[in-house]
């Protein structure tokens, strides 16, 4: 009877060990991303956004991009889903929502801000699809390189990298959409339209290709 007082303590030790083991079994990953203006160019200036975990285990947090619209979020649970929200500035873009999964060794998220004039026709924010989960590593690497090159203002290299990503993975919807933006800005509307139509054949629910196609 004298040792009964130890039972609650043993229970607490077991609980702590179990929680610690669970924490160790949930690997984390760093997620990088890029925010684009409605015209398809990387955002200039620091952009504030909110991040929350859809499983409710991660409380909402506030982050800021760097001066070129890129960001990195550390320590997200591998495989978990998250929601990222960029609030409207009231004149240039509408509130935009991106939902993504923290998958793969180097997850990357692109957020394309929606122009204000689009809000009246939809009445809702945009849900940006996460980077295709089956993208091969080589194609993903070319895509990420292209995004970095765009952020640095090297459009020609970005164009080649997006094309290489598509060559490595023809169903790469995001790469097709980004390359189409560059082609459209260069006046190559027919080539841009071909890329976007194929992207919509691959993913009929893709938002960005549909928006870009309306501009061709």
CATH class of the 26-131 domain in this structure: mainly beta
Per-residue pLDDT band for 123 (boundaries 50, 70, 90) equals very low
More confident: 117 or 183: 183
Per-residue pLDDT band for 39 (boundaries 50, 70, 90) equals confident
Alpha carbons 102 and 151: distance in angstroms, whole number? 22
Under 8 Å CB-to-CB from 54, ≥6 apart: which residues? 80, 81, 82, 83, 99
Beta bridge partners of 112: 36
pLDDT digits (tens, 9 = 90+) for 128-161: 344 445 678 888 889 888 877 876 778 899 899 9
Domains of the chain by residue range: 26-131, 132-216
- Length of the chain measured in residues: 216
For position 90, what pLDDT does the model report? 84
Tell me the pairing of strands 70-77 and 28-36.
antiparallel
Under 8 Å CB-to-CB from 55, ≥6 apart: which residues? 80, 81
Q: Which residue has the tokens 């800005």?
A: 185
CATH number of 132-216: 1.25.40.10
């Amino acid at each position: 009877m004298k040792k009964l007082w130890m039972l609650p303590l043993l229970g607490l030790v077991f609980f702590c060990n179990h929680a610690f083991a669970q924490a160790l079994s949930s690997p984390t990953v760093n997620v990088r991303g890029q925010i684009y203006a409605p015209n398809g160019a990387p955002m200039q200036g620091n952009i504030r956004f909110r991040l929350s975990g859809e499983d409710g285990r991660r409380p909402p947090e506030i982050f800021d991009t760097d001066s070129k619209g890129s960001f990195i979020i550390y320590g997200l649970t591998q495989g978990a889903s998250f929601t990222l929200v960029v609030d409207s500035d009231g004149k240039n873009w509408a509130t935009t929502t991106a939902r993504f999964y923290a998958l793969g060794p180097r997850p990357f998220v692109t957020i394309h801000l929606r122009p204000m004039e689009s809000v009246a026709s939809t009445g809702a924010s945009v849900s940006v699809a996460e980077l295709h989960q089956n993208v091969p590593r080589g194609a993903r690497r070319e895509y990420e390189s292209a995004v970095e090159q765009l952020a640095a203002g090297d459009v020609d290299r970005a164009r080649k990298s997006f094309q290489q990503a598509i060559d490595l993975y023809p169903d790469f919807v995001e790469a097709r959409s980004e390359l189409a933006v560059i082609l459209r800005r260069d006046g190559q509307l027919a080539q841009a339209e071909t890329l976007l139509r194929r992207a919509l054949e691959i993913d009929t629910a893709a938002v960005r290709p549909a928006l870009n196609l309306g501009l061709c």
